[in-house]
Chains A and B, each alone.
Chain A
């Protein structure tokens, strides 16, 4: 599985947009980029997955440039409840083994 690098922590305020960039220089051709969210005392939760360009759902947007060596998770208008750890994962859709790094701790303040 490709190694990923993401910031250890980010601070934000309610109502702001939060962008978390993940580097994955060794991404393989058939690899997808997946983001998970983890609240304290809970297991990780899938939030979005993409292969190229842009993917949007009701929770977030994922931007992937043409070279796919990085990706950016965008959380629009965050609230206090978005405080969590966000993990960037890279792998084939057939990979059953998820490889989590340390993630990015996002803290949203009032």
Chain B
């Protein structure tokens, strides 16, 4: 499979717990993005990586959210002290570089109970 892969596909966690969401981008894509999508709304930008560095993390809602991409490929979105309002589908996308066309994964549905 040459597409963007996200794991797990579904995650249920208790309020206050820590979660990690993983994204495997398309091989060779230098740009990687995280978006969050709530029910009935379009995806909202969270963070953008160019290579290993976070070029823009302005969309992260607060300091409980953090993302890394240590080797410029796989990325992990980390959420501390989860809240019920964090429940959403978290989408990862990658692209070859500075392009409008982004390739999205199927997302991770996070439910905080």
Q: A residues engaging B (CB < 8 A)?
A: 32, 34, 41-46, 49, 85, 87, 89, 91, 93-103
Q: B residues engaging A (CB < 8 A)?
A: 4, 31, 33, 35, 40-45, 48, 50, 55-56, 59, 91-93, 95, 98-107
Please judge, given known A-B contacts A41-B106, A43-B106, A43-B107, whether A100 and B43 are in contact too, CB under 8 Å: yes
Please judge, given known A-B contacts A43-B91, A43-B93, A43-B106, whether A93 and B42 are in contact too, CB under 8 Å: no
In the A-B complex, the 6 residue pairs with the smallest Cβ-Cβ separation, listed nearest first, are: A43-B104, A100-B42, A46-B101, A97-B45, A43-B91, A100-B43
Of all chain A residues, the one with the shortest Cβ separation from B58 is: A97
Distance to closest chain A CB from B108 (angstroms): 11
| Cβ–Cβ contact B42 & A96, under 8 A | no
A106 CA / B43 CA spacing, docked (Å): 17
| Cβ–Cβ contact A44 & B100, under 8 A | no
Chain A residues near B55 (CB, 8 Å)?
96
Cβ contact of B48, chosen from A34, A97, A102, A103, cutoff 8 A: A97
Please judge, given known A-B contacts A97-B56, A98-B45, A100-B42, whether A42 and B106 are in contact too, CB under 8 Å: yes
| Cβ–Cβ contact A96 & B48, under 8 A | yes
